[in-house]
Amino acid sequence: MSHTPHELAEEFPEMTTQMAQLRQSDRHFENLADTYHTLNRAIHRAETDVEPTSDDHMSNMRKRRLALKDEIYAYLTAQTTG
């Protein structure tokens, strides 16, 4: 199995326990994480030419992944401070 970069555990290693707990107890966080995971895998498949795509589509997917990562980080930090 090849390594897929940008997994949430790699992006936020200090928050892996919190993410695992939220995946079990918070439907909204579970949705965010699942959406990120699905999109990240699609980007990886496109980058490795398993499922090639246009440059515009790739760019849009990367922007969406970044927005999701920002949203996830904001959600995680709000949970620890709130």
Q: Which of 33, 63, 38, 64 is closest to 51 using CA atoms?
A: 38
Q: What pLDDT does 26 receive?
A: 97
Q: What pLDDT does 2 receive?
A: 52
Report how far residue 68's alpha carbon sits from residue 6's, in angstroms, rounded to the nearest whole number.
12
Q: What pLDDT does 1 receive?
A: 38
Rounded to a whole number of angstroms, the distance between the first and last alpha carbons of the chain is 39
Q: Tens-of-pLDDT digits for all 82 residues of the chain?
A: 357 899 999 999 999 999 999 999 999 999 999 999 999 999 999 999 999 999 999 999 999 999 999 999 999 999 877 6
The residue extents of the domains of the chain are 55-82
